[in-house]
Structure 1
C-alpha cells in the first residue's frame, strides 16, 4: 500500500481538473510502471483498479450533477457507454468504407484552438455530434475507432491502428531491455491514454502532446540502446 501513497499528491492535483480521462490515465500509467518495476503486488493492482472505477463513476456523477442532470452511478456508466457504442455503429453505417473528412476531424484538434490555422473552428467531438445529430452545440464520443472512421474510413482506420500498435510494441520492447527502465514512462503514457481513448477517442491536444513527446523519446532511444 505504501507504493500507492506515492500516487496520492498527483492524483489530487489531477482530480481538481475535473477531467475523468486524466485521472484514469494517471492510475493506469502508474500501475504499468509499478508492475514492471515490481513495486506493487496483485492485491494493490486490484485496489487501484477499483479506485479507478470509483473515481470515474464519481467524477461522472459530479459533472452531471453540476449541469443539473440527476443520474445514479450505475446509470451514469451505462448511459455514456451505450451512447458511445451507438454512435460508433451509426458512424460505421454512414462513413464505414471511404470516410468523409479526410483528416479534417483530427486536424480540428488544432484548428479549433488556434484560429489562425485553416480548418474547422469547432472542437472535434462537436463535429461528431453535428454529423450524428445535426447540432454542433454538444460534444459526443464515438470510441477510439469512430473519429478514424470519419476521417479515413474503416480500412484507413485499420491501417493507422496497426501502425500505432507497432509503436506501442516498439515501446514495450525498448522499455524491457536491461537498463532501460526509464522508458517505462513514455511507454506507460502511450498505453494509458490509448486504453482510456477506447471510450473517449484521441481528440485532445494535451493527449496529442503527451503521446508525441513519448513517441519522440522512444524513437530517440533506439540509437542510444542499440
Structure 2
C-alpha cells in the first residue's frame, strides 16, 4: 500500500482552443510506489497528447486513446517517486465559446485526484465574405468570398446558397451570422449549400 496518496496539481493551466498542449504536473511524494497502473481521464473538451512519467530505469509504457480522452501508464516495477508526473492536454476547438473550468482525473493505487484546466473564452466566428437574402427565407446567398480567408479555402463560390451550419438551419444572413457567432473561430464545421440547385456540403474552418 502506498505511504502517501497522489496530490492534485498545484497549478491549473489556461488552454486556448485551438491552441498548443500545456503541462499538468502531479508533484512527487518521495515514497516508494509500484508496480501498478495509472489511469487518466481528460477534462471535457480536451485531449491528452502525451505524458512524461520520468520512469528512469523502469518500463512505464504509456497508452493514449485514439481520441485523447484517456490514458493509462503501466509501472512495471518499484521506484521512489522523486520527479513530477506530467500530463500534456490540449483544448478542442469545439469547446464552449465562453470557456470555463473543466475537470478530469488521475487514479493511482486506489486514489483519485482531479486534473483541472481552464479553457479561455474564444473569438466568435464570422463568414469570410458577404451574403444576401434569399426570397422566402431560403438561406443566405454568397455575394463575395475573400480569397485570403478560410471561406475561399473551403470552396465557397459566389451564388452558392448556404442553408445550414453544423445542422443548424440558415434562413437569412442574420441567422448565418448568429450560427457562426455561436462557435469559435477556427472550428471546422459542415456547411450545407445549394450550388446551381444541387445540394452539397463543405467543411468550413470558421473565419473570425
With normalisation by structure 1, the TM-score equals: 0.22
Bigger strand fraction = 2
Bigger helix fraction = 1
From the CA coordinates, give the structure whose radius of gyration is larger.
Answer: 2
